[in-house]
Structure 1
Amino acid sequence: MPEPPPLDEPVAEAWFDGDLAPEDFRALGYRVIDAIANHLRDVPDLPVFAGRTPEEVARTFDEPLPKHGQEPARILDDWDEKVLPNATHNTSPRYFGYVMGSGTPMGILAEALAASVNMNAGGWKPAPSATEVERRTLAWLAELIGFDPACGGVLVSGGTMANVTALHTALRNAAPYDTTPRGLQDEARTGRFLVYASDHEGHVSLVRAVDMLNLGREALRRVPSRGDFTMDVGALRGMIEEDRARGDLPFCVVAQVGSVNVGAIDPLDEIADVCREYGLWLHGDGACGAVGAMLPEKRLLYAGLDRADSVSLDPHKWLYVPYECGCVLFRDPVTQRRAFTMEASYLQGILPDGYHGHDFYELGPQMSRGFRALKVWMTLKHYGAEGYRALLRQNVRCAEHLDALVRADPDFEPLHAPVLNLYCFRFVPARLRDDVDAHSEYLDRLNQAITDAIRASGLAFVMTSQLRGRTVLRLSICSHRTRLEDIERVFDDLRRLGHDIDRETGTAAAAAPVVVV
């Protein structure tokens, strides 16, 4: 048998090193820290909204895929030249859109530290310290809002995934048959699985949740609300009985724990009584407002929160930490594990060892998870419970001050008393007060135009919303940097813009299109 031909000698190749030299990385890091520090220093004076069109922003980033690497210092130039000038500064004390926190300094540093170790917080073995930091953080969050610190829980991306996680767990634990093996396709299912929430203030993330669970959007039953925007519990009871008599399968009630428009808190104790009577899961959607329970002066509003089976809250909202970080807590940890546990040899190993800890991939929807807990843990340690109470009280005080300004001005209409840090009102010229309904379309357009104008000016980011069919100005005071003078400055500008736009357009503006900026 002939000898095989000799193998070709391997060609020596340069090994590509993806790391930076320590001194180069340090220099770039100092530059980044300087940029962050300068931004935090300057943000009170920056335009809150860039005021550029989607096409303009897209053109800024229209470049081909780099074939060869670029100098790191030049890449950082793009931050100053491209990214920051096209950013909306929700770090500003006058950012009042959506419900978005302002980003804590310790949270910023924590994000960099978490990225540096790059732990996958899905399992204990790849992330021992990250796992235990998250467990401790969850216990602290529960303690802050009066929930049992021995509860279960998991950090997720935000309120939507917190609600999806809670409703999935509710379905697994409250359905009249075991949905784990065959889900919705089991022959034991006799009707539709149903979820109940407020008709007005129920968050749109609940629609996403029933969508993702494939229950169908009609599975979300809207319960009438009372004059104060809280759920009518008598109506809830009647709907449950009617649906059960029809053969449907009610399994969960979602109570608002600080609603998205007005901060309404549903009567939690009464709803808990109904859920206990009918064997339903009670989920408290507190993404916007659950952390208000840490204020002793507000605690009565939250009576019954400790009876909820699950509660969602978003640290990236009213705890101010940088995006993204949501949270869902479960009163009974066993229910959480029952909903998500799974086995895989490549995750756990075949033979037992002494290093099996708390695996979050068995307790939520994600397998791979970032180290979200570090920024919450470090910020909680920085401010402490009392520091957080002081910051939340400042936001509530700002909402109350805004309400006082609105009520003292004949050209504004108050729509509710402030409960927490969210407030809605309308600009209604005094000349139209006697016949508001006849001018409803004009007033809708006028208030929309006011928000468009103040946003385009860069002074503040304000959005409209709807309260019972009316377009309203809505301020979410969710920044630890906001002061009373910011509220007064923005209110004065809203009033000036309202008068200017009303004077220029008059009632004829009802027929003119409003351009949303």
Structure 2
Amino acid sequence: MGSLPSDIISPLDPDNFLYESSQVLQFIADYYRDVEKFPVQSQVQPGYLRSLSPKAAPLFPEQLEAILADVQSNILPGLTHWQSPNFFAYFQANASTAAFLGEMLCTGLNVVGFNWITSPAATELENIVVDWVGKMLNLPQTFLFSGTGGGVLYGSTCEALVCTLAAARDMALKEMGANGITELVVYSSDQTHFSLQKAAKLVGILPNNIRMIPTSRSTSFALEPSKVRSAMEKDSARGLAPLFLCATIGTTSSGAVDPLKELGQVAQDFNVWLHVDAAYAGSACICPEFRQYLDGVELADSLSINPHKWLLTNMDCCCLWLQNPTTLIDSLGASPEYLKNKASESNHVVDYKDWQIALSRRFRALKLWVLIRRYGVANLRDHVRSDVKLAKLFEAFVRADKRFEVAVPRRFALVCFRLVNGGESEKEEEKEDGDEKGSRLSRKLLEMVNSSGRAYMSHAVVGGKFLIRCAIGGTLTEERHVVGLWELIQEKAALLLENAFIPKKINIVS
């Protein structure tokens, strides 16, 4: 039963705020302390929560202690624990104390900085922070506010793709006329994240005009410039208009890297917008040894990375840089009378409402600013390097076991592997080739590992083969968790394959 109406407190009483927020902080701290104990992948069945919940909202206020108790008993079992050190699926969603503190400040101040005048510090700090990260990546000055470009913080690269596609579309239609939209064509590889297809549809590109160009094992599944050029030549000959090319640094399926210099030249030859989706691996390029993967970025129109994936920045945070922000503003900008003001009309300030889909926006820059200041670039580099070191360790385990293969080259902290050998009967061997067998065995192995609750990985199908993806990079993940994952994989492989040999001890690769 809820509390009596007399217990109602002020919605924003400072003393109560301090008391109750301290309870939530304690709850979260305990969660992180115990997160390793939970099954990584939620074990609940669909609809479980409705049966545990009241049929209607409470009429009177309830005590926070009761609410947190329900979070513990009802909500946590329904979570797949992305912050578990045994989470190796998809890509990591990094979290850190510093980013959490920045998020607290963002939420607590609760400003809505859609234009400069609504909170000058929110806009100007965002200008500063995106330049900081751009300099960490050694981007050309043409992408920075301190040069001739600029950047913006979004929630995800999906938003960045919609906005840059809209800008490219509107630039083209100024010359072609509105009816020309049926002629516009978008290009990427078959490894590009599906969000590009979704974004293209949202801005009006016909589904038949989205080209997902096949990749091959011979190029480690990178997009081949010659194939892109050929596709654009064919489309141009048919009267279509090449519009937008998306290159990826660290594809979701396999971590592939597209060659920016060569693709940039193709884009220039056909006057198409080149966007670089570096959502995952772009963060690694703050380390000098990985910066090579951005060589050629000077030929791109835009670039996006997700600090919430690998730079310890709690969800959500995406950086987008443009060489010519005016193209974005021309497409997304609007100036209703009630938003007009002297600062905006002076053209000396940035109004971020004109850089995004929505009007309202959060003070994300505060989170990224606190993070960078609290840890420093050197520690952020060490964080990336430590994850890569763990990935090399796991890769060595896979290579040392003849039953497994590393399916695609590892460049960052993603290891894609397959179970390919083991005691199947000769009759079954005759029924399917090696690739089919490896895919079937790998699929079974992944199901066994994930259903155990002790670890969680995901999969991809690349070049027609089913691959298990081990994405290392959780904030709490240590060497012992990677070793434990490999022991679990060997344990389940032994159940799956007859006569499998499992060494009792693992020789740690230093």
TM-score by length of 2: 0.88
Rounded to whole Å, the distance in 1 between the matches of 2:12 and 2:480 is 46
Q: Is the 8 A contact 1:447 1:473 kept in 2?
A: yes
Q: Which residue does the alignment assign to 2:468? A: 473
Q: Is the 8 A contact 2:86 2:477 kept in 1?
A: yes
Rounded to whole Å, the distance in 2 between the matches of 1:239 and 1:75 is 57
Identical columns (%): 28
Alpha-carbon distance, 1:177 to partner:
3.1
Q: Is the 8 A contact 2:116 2:343 kept in 1?
A: no
The change in CA–CA distance for 1:62 and 1:166 in structure 2 (over 3 A counts) is farther
CA deviation vs aligned residue, 1:97-116 (integer Å, no higher than 9, x gap): 11132311111122222111
Alpha-carbon distance, 1:246 to partner:
0.4
Q: Is the 8 A contact 1:191 1:247 kept in 2?
A: no
Q: Look up the SS of the partner of 2:174 in the other structure.
A: coil
Work out whether 1:162 is the aligned partner of 2:160: yes
Q: Which residue does the alignment assign to 1:137? A: 129
The change in CA–CA distance for 1:254 and 1:354 in structure 2 (over 3 A counts) is closer
Work out whether 1:177 is the aligned partner of 2:174: yes
Work out whether 1:347 is the aligned partner of 2:339: yes
Work out whether 1:67 is the aligned partner of 2:59: yes
Cα root mean square deviation, aligned: 2.6
Rounded to whole Å, the distance in 2 between the matches of 1:196 and 1:354 is 39
The change in CA–CA distance for 1:347 and 1:241 in structure 2 (over 3 A counts) is same
Counterparts of 1:404-483 in structure 2, within 5 Å, are: 404-431=396-423, 438=433, 440-483=435-478
Structure 1, gaps ≥5 residues long: 1-13, 505-517
Rounded to whole Å, the distance in 2 between the matches of 1:373 and 1:78 is 33
Alpha-carbon distance, 1:258 to partner:
1.3
Work out whether 1:198 is the aligned partner of 2:189: yes
Rounded to whole Å, the distance in 1 between the matches of 2:443 and 2:52 is 29
Q: Which residue does the alignment assign to 1:90? A: 82
Rounded to whole Å, the distance in 2 between the matches of 1:309 and 1:297 is 24
Work out whether 1:153 is the aligned partner of 2:151: yes
Alpha-carbon distance, 1:274 to partner:
1.0
Work out whether 1:493 is the aligned partner of 2:488: yes
The change in CA–CA distance for 1:100 and 1:170 in structure 2 (over 3 A counts) is farther
Q: Which residue does the alignment assign to 1:210? A: 200
Structure 2, gaps ≥5 residues long: 1-5, 500-510
- State which structure, 1 or 2, has the greater radius of gyration over its C-alpha atoms: 1
1:118 maps to amino acid: N
Rounded to whole Å, the distance in 2 between the matches of 1:43 and 1:241 is 54
Rounded to whole Å, the distance in 2 between the matches of 1:113 and 1:122 is 18
Work out whether 1:76 is the aligned partner of 2:73: no
Rounded to whole Å, the distance in 2 between the matches of 1:300 and 1:415 is 23
Rounded to whole Å, the distance in 2 between the matches of 1:402 and 1:240 is 41
The change in CA–CA distance for 1:353 and 1:305 in structure 2 (over 3 A counts) is closer
Rounded to whole Å, the distance in 2 between the matches of 1:241 and 1:176 is 20
Is 37-46 or 225-234 further displaced after alignment? Answer: 37-46
The change in CA–CA distance for 1:123 and 1:60 in structure 2 (over 3 A counts) is farther
The change in CA–CA distance for 1:337 and 1:353 in structure 2 (over 3 A counts) is closer
Alignment length (residue pairs) = 482
Q: Look up the SS of the partner of 1:240 in the other structure.
A: helix
Structure 2 residue corresponding to 1:121, chosen from 113, 116, 141: 113
The change in CA–CA distance for 1:345 and 1:17 in structure 2 (over 3 A counts) is farther
Work out whether 1:48 is the aligned partner of 2:40: yes
The change in CA–CA distance for 1:338 and 1:190 in structure 2 (over 3 A counts) is closer
Structure 1 residue corresponding to 2:356, chosen from 364, 369, 373: 364
1:124 maps to amino acid: W
TM-score by length of 1: 0.87
Rounded to whole Å, the distance in 2 between the matches of 1:45 and 1:351 is 53
Rounded to whole Å, the distance in 1 between the matches of 2:251 and 2:50 is 34
Q: Is the 8 A contact 2:344 2:351 kept in 1?
A: no
Q: Is the 8 A contact 1:411 1:428 kept in 2?
A: yes
Structure 2 residue corresponding to 1:253, chosen from 245, 253, 257: 245
Q: Is the 8 A contact 1:153 1:336 kept in 2?
A: no
Rounded to whole Å, the distance in 1 between the matches of 2:492 and 2:92 is 25
CA deviation vs aligned residue, 1:236-294 (integer Å, no higher than 9, x gap): 11111110010001011111111112211111000111111111111001111112221
Rounded to whole Å, the distance in 2 between the matches of 1:402 and 1:344 is 56
Rounded to whole Å, the distance in 1 between the matches of 2:224 and 2:481 is 36
Q: Which residue does the alignment assign to 1:233? A: 225
Q: Is the 8 A contact 1:195 1:220 kept in 2?
A: yes
Q: Look up the SS of the partner of 2:320 in the other structure.
A: strand
Structure 2 residue corresponding to 1:23, chosen from 4, 15, 18: 15
Q: Which residue does the alignment assign to 1:511? A: none
